[in-house]
Amino acid sequence: MELTSKQRAYLKGLAMDLDAAFNLGKASVTPETITALDEFFAKNELLKISVLKNCEDDARSLAEIIAGRTRSTVVQVIGRKIVLYKPNKENPKIVLPKASKKASSGE
């Protein structure tokens, strides 16, 4: 899912108040981690992950790996914090601002 800058800013604002729901440590991303993240996304649409200092992997690359495996979208990576978004298809809780279409309709 591609987010507009307005949608990304909206999600960043929501994520500011979130505590990290997951910590990635020395084991980094395992199949069990992905299973746990999928279970989290079944109930929540916005996720904050903290990459601990003992994890040697880069937070940006971890964000891309996790997003790919969970079919979520990277909202932002700041330092060692990752924010991901995955909309709930049946019961969405977060309503994103509409993606603006070309404003030059001439009407």
Hey, where are the domains in the chain? 5-85
Of residues 47 and 101, more confidence is placed in 47
Of the pLDDT bands very low, low, confident and very high (cuts 50, 70, 90), residue 2 is confident
pLDDT tens for 54-73 read 999 999 999 999 999 999 99
Percentage above 90 pLDDT, the chain: 76
Of residues 49 and 97, more confidence is placed in 49
Residues 6+ apart with CB under 8 A from 31: none
pLDDT at 89: 86
pLDDT at 63: 96
The pTM of the full predicted model, rounded to 2 decimals, is 0.87
Mean pLDDT of 34-61: 94
Q: Does 105 have pLDDT greater than 60?
A: no
3.30.110.60, 3.40.190.10, 3.90.1150.10, 3.40.50.10610: which CATH number matches 5-85? 3.30.110.60
pLDDT at 101: 61
Write down the residue that tokens 């800013």 correspond to. 9
Paired tokens of 4:
């507009």
Start-to-end CA distance of the chain, whole Å, equals 30
Paired tokens of 57:
């992997």
